[in-house]
């Protein structure tokens, strides 16, 4: 008798696991859910060791090399999102485990959020709302900008970067991009070096993945290159920005503000960011909408079923070791 394969959901950013459970169980697999909030790495390691899953669905929780090593049946780790910085991808590759993500579920949401933060700054929407709520009615004190007079630099020109660039361009802004591997066809948008983009941009939007090479991509040196009173938008990963350098640039008056959906130490928000009138912080929600979250959950669960049935993944993020999987070359 063949034992039923187990799928472990480590955590989730939504109220229930009904969509994932339904898809997994309807496909004939056993479904086990961990706590909703991401548990510490040691707790996730213990869950994996206990349940010996053939597949892991993870939202924010860390899937470590130790966890991957501890489950002999493991065949796939599916990220319920885009970034892979919470998954030990090299370990998965060495163990013959497929890693997948869902790269296309929130293109509109994240690009809308980035543009929304830029517009909130240029029009003073958040800052003036705070003033009015505090009992101050001072229209003459508002420092507002015309977006179509500004240069907006988009760092990272993948699916979401393209969408953000198109939306900013439609609003009349001059848009430039920087990407280590820019496409041959940029849609008529000028590609620049990172330093060149920073020096030219009144608004900078980060759409880069967090990998070792991009950790603190924006630090003190890079912030010093920006024009006076520029605005930085980060809707990607908190680790792309050196928080201490960011706060120093804000406090010195070099940087006009920042729109941050992600932070280095979530959910801790440094007091210096909260106190600055030009800073807008949202709680890592750029990806979310009623439609995008359903798309994400269905896509990730269906990808797991696909791999466990021996079918190729739609969104593979690694090439598992042939030796580990028992496949000859």
**Who contacts 101 (Cβ-Cβ below 8 Å, separation ≥6)?**
78, 79, 81, 82, 83, 84, 315, 317
Which one of the listed residues 284, 297, 303, 306 is annotated catalytic?
Answer: 284
Q: What does the DSSP 8-state code read for residue 279?
A: E
Question: Residue 266: left (phi > 0), alpha (psi -120 to 50), or beta?
Answer: beta
DSSP annotation string for 182-193: --S--TTPEE--
**Who contacts 148 (Cβ-Cβ below 8 Å, separation ≥6)?**
171, 172, 173
Place of tokens 């280590």: 180
Cα end-to-end span (Å), the chain: 31
**266 tagged catalytic:** yes
Structure tokens at 184: 């041959």
Which one of the listed residues 113, 237, 297, 306 is annotated catalytic?
Answer: 237
Q: What does the DSSP 8-state code read for residue 315?
A: S
Q: What crossing angle do the helices spanning 159-170 and 107-122 adopt, rounded to 10°?
A: 40
**Who contacts 226 (Cβ-Cβ below 8 Å, separation ≥6)?**
198, 199, 201, 204, 232, 249, 254, 255
**237 tagged catalytic:** yes
**284 tagged catalytic:** yes
For the chain, how many residues are written?
A: 329
Which of 224, 234, 213, 246 lies closest to 153, judged by CA? 234
Which of 213, 195, 212 lies closest to 204, judged by CA? 195
User: What are the φ and ψ backbone dihedral angles of 96, each rounded to 5 degrees?
Assistant: 75, 25
> Residue 252's Cα: distance from chain center in Å?
29
Which one of the listed residues 25, 265, 266, 311 is annotated catalytic?
Answer: 266
**Who contacts 252 (Cβ-Cβ below 8 Å, separation ≥6)?**
none
Point out the residues that are catalytic: 237, 266, 284
């Amino acid at each position: 008798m063949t034992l039923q394969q187990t799928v472990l959901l480590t955590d989730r950013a939504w109220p229930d696991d009904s969509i994932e459970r339904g898809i997994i169980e309807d496909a004939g697999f056993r479904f086990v859910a961990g706590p909703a909030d991401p548990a510490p790495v040691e707790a996730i390691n213990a869950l994996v060791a206990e349940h010996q899953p053939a597949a892991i669905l993870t939202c924010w929780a860390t899937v470590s090399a130790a966890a991957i090593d501890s489950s002999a049946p493991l065949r796939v780790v599916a990220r319920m999102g885009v970034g892979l910085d919470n998954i030990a991808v090299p370990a998965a590759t060495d163990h013959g485990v497929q890693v997948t993500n869902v790269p296309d579920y929130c293109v509109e949401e994240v690009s809308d959020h980035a543009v929304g933060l830029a517009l909130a700054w240029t029009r003073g929407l958040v800052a003036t709302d705070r003033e009015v709520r505090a009992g101050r009615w001072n229209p003459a004190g508002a420092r507002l900008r015309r977006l179509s007079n500004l240069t907006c630099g988009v760092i990272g020109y993948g699916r979401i970067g393209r969408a953000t660039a198109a939306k900013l361009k439609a609003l009349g802004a001059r848009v430039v991009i920087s990407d280590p591997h820019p496409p041959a066809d940029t849609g008529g948008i000028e590609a620049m070096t990172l330093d060149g983009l920073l020096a030219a941009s009144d608004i900078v939007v980060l759409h880069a993945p967090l990998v070792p090479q991009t950790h603190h991509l924006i630090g003190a040196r890079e912030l010093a290159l920006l024009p006076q009173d520029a605005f930085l938008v980060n809707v990607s990963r908190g680790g792309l920005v050196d928080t201490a350098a960011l706060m120093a640039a804000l406090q010195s008056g070099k940087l006009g503000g920042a729109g941050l959906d992600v932070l280095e130490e979530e959910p801790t928000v440094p007091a210096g960011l909260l106190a600055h009138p030009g800073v807008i912080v949202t709680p890592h929600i750029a990806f979310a909408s009623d439609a995008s979250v359903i798309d994400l959950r269905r896509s990730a669960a269906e990808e797991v079923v696909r791999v466990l049935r021996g079918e190729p993944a739609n969104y593979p993020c690694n090439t598992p070791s042939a030796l580990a999987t028992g496949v000859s070359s």
